[in-house]
Amino acid sequence: MTDNASNTPKANGQGQAMWGGRFSAKPAELMQAINVSIGFDKRLWAQDLAGSRAHARMLMNQGVISSHDGDEILEGLARVEDELLSGTFPFRDEYEDIHMNIEARLRELIGPTAGRLHTARSRNDQVAVDFRLWVRDACDRTVGQLEALQKALLAQAEAYADALMPGFTHLQPAQPVTFGHHLMAYVEMFGRDAGRFRDARARMNECPLGAAALAGSPFPIDRQQTATALGFDRPTANSLDSVSSRDFALEALSAASITATHLSRLAEEIVLWTTPMFGFIKLTDAFTTGSSIMPQKKNPDAAELVRAKVGRILGSLTTLTVVMKGLPLAYSKDMQEDKVPTFEAFDALELSLLAMAGMIADLTPNTETMAKAAGAGFSTATDLADWLVRTLNMPFRDAHHVTGSAVKTAEGLGVDLADLSLEQFQAIEPQITNAVYAVLTPAASAASRMSYGGTAPAQVRAQIARWKEQLA
């Protein structure tokens, strides 16, 4: 996508470069190979047609081109769209990019009038609006995919709001929680991810069309009209910034990278939970694969691949950041490298979100195994300390010390805290009574966490209801 500020670029439909008037020879084959972008930016054809239609109508309304010419251009663009939709459009490398391919084809279909479409427009603002439209659409799609994943998580969380499992810190059993509570943590994460995409979309919703090459246009254009026609809130306020900034893509890629990180964490838990050592969940054959040599294997490959996608997505953010980091204003050809990493990142993210939503809906928790594990590792020790504070009015640090001594005793005997006798408890702290046993079960521990956002099933259901209403 080469800088081209000409108001009426040449295009003869016979392979002559659109910017060829200044040059007496064709580019070297190697130059053509490194310069051409039609192989990947043809994905922007719908956005390019939308921008061209808005621009043509504005030029007509402002009297820059005649209504006759404008109608002929719009009719020609409709014919181009039919070819693109039917797969008969002749993409050609000699026209470099999607913008020149469409313009050249338009000239073949309607003749020299096609050249008037580029009045008051450059490929610099043309690609800026096309790419911004594409990224905006990608953000909208991603929000929808995130909400679908949240709904899948909500359905499982609601079904298993009471199912006990161990909560971990340092991947060591910490305190009992419920499976519903654990899944709701990801509902919150993905909710913030959706918010980041919405925020990015709001910031990028300014239209660069009309900035031309870098300095604006001498023609009496109406930039608010084209902005409104394309669904933007307003035109961009600085022509240099309009054509030279790609922070809208960087922000979207940053949101994608954070989302991919959350997906990777959930994928890692699915991988762990499906191992025989955990045995917390099962996946059907729909989201697992076998081994070519070990017939017993059932591998969570979908989760592993989602886990790996964060590398590709984060790599895309890094790629575009490095491309943009040293560019002087305004447009530089380096910026042609903005599209491939962005396309690849959102392709990978979309696949990951769809696969994760599928896995969440597909999984079945092994509630007995999880409940048994919920009491492992003295997970109710904090409940004992809290009981000492509440019942005996003991300072928490003293209660912490007493509880640590009880854990040491139980560990030495090879039993859980609930298996210690009252005499053994009272040997550590004489004021302890039989009432202590009521708090030493995982179910009692989870049920007692009634603070807002806690793991008590009643609190989990309240959060589920809040999110269901929000996503309705």
Active site annotation includes 170: yes
Per DSSP, the three-state class of 423 is helix
- Residue 202 in this model has a pLDDT that exceeds 80: yes
CA distance 148 to 143: 9
Active-site residue (options: 66, 67, 68, 291): 291
Tokens for 133, please give them.
């439209």
CATH fourth-level superfamily of 373-471: Fumarase/aspartase (C-terminal domain) (1.10.40.30)
Residue ranges of the domains in the chain? 29-116, 123-162+178-218+238-371, 373-471
Find the mean pLDDT for residues 265-282.
96
CA distance 384 to 438: 10
Contacts of 420 (CB under 8 A, 6+ apart): 406, 409, 410, 413
Q: Does domain 29-116 have CATH number 1.10.275.10?
A: yes
Q: Are 177 and 455 in contact (CB under 8 A)?
A: yes
| Sign of the four-CA dihedral 113, 119, 124, 126 | negative
- Calculate the CA 156 to chain-centre distance: 22
pTM above 0.85, yes or no: yes
Q: Are 240 and 329 in contact (CB under 8 A)?
A: yes
Find the mean pLDDT for residues 160-182.
95
Task: List, for residues 235-251, the tens digit of each pLDDT value.
Answer: 999 999 999 999 999 99
The interaxial angle of helices 45-61 and 67-86, nearest 10 deg, is: 170
Q: Are 19 and 2 in contact (CB under 8 A)?
A: yes
Across the strands, what pairs with 172? 169
Residues 201-204: contacts with CB within 8 Å, 24+ apart? 201/136, 201/139, 201/140, 203/248, 203/251, 204/132, 204/135, 204/136, 204/139, 204/248, 204/251, 204/252
- Residue 110 in this model has a pLDDT that exceeds 90: yes
CA distance 114 to 91: 18
Q: What is the pLDDT of residue 25?
A: 63
What DSSP element (H or E) covers 196? Answer: helix 179-204
- Residue 203 in this model has a pLDDT that exceeds 70: yes
CA distance 364 to 49: 47
What DSSP element (H or E) covers 163? Answer: none
Per DSSP, the three-state class of 73 is helix
Q: Report DSSP state, residue 420.
A: S
- Would the CATH topology of 123-162+178-218+238-371 be identical to that of 373-471? no
Tokens for 206, please give them.
């300014």
Q: Which residue has the tokens 């859980």?
A: 416
- Residue 6 in this model has a pLDDT that exceeds 50: no
- Kindly indicate the confidence band of residue 34, based on its pLDDT and cuts at 50, 70 and 90: confident
- Residue 327 in this model has a pLDDT that exceeds 80: yes
Find the mean pLDDT for residues 450-471.
97
Active-site residue (options: 24, 86, 170, 451): 170
Question: What's the CATH code, domain 123-162+178-218+238-371?
Answer: 1.20.200.10
Q: Are 154 and 180 in contact (CB under 8 A)?
A: no
